[in-house]
Structure 1
């Protein structure tokens, strides 16, 4: 689901590699003010993401971030599962 973020507290969550496969979509738009809230929202949308979310790294607007990191409305959280190789 690709949508345009707005100013009502919603952020785009983008999935990469195994996260995309588990979610079955490339991105979601969710209401969240922290990374942790965004993770909980996508976990509820896509239960198959659980094992990926447990080991994934998260980028907020391109910066590695933990669950307490604040999100600005219209921001982007990227879900990066561990990658082999490089």
Structure 2
């Protein structure tokens, strides 16, 4: 299982600040989240998604116990 943490608008659209997931790759996770929640799916392509604090390719396997952060684009300056 992996722990997904949603921040700001992503948390609002996901309906919760966190979720436990079992997808095997980041790409699988992105597709599943978008299919389950179209609102989140609309912003997900613009979000920074970090696995254990680092960016990774969609096809890299997610390690058991990984923490995935979904950070929408932030406005301001």
Instruction: Report the TM-score when normalising by structure 1.
Output: 0.77
Equivalent residue number for residue 6 of structure 2: 15
Say which structure is richer in helix.
2
Give, in angstroms, the shift of residue 27 of structure 1: 1.0
Inter-partner Cα distance in structure 1 for 2:23 and 2:54: 17
> Contact (CA 8 Å) 2:35, 2:41: kept in 1 or not?
no
List gaps (5 residues or longer) in structure 1: 1-9
User: What number of residue pairs does the alignment pair up?
Assistant: 77
Give, in angstroms, the shift of residue 84 of structure 1: 1.2
CA RMSD of aligned residues (A): 1.5
> Contact (CA 8 Å) 1:30, 1:42: kept in 2 or not?
no
Instruction: Report the TM-score when normalising by structure 2.
Output: 0.85
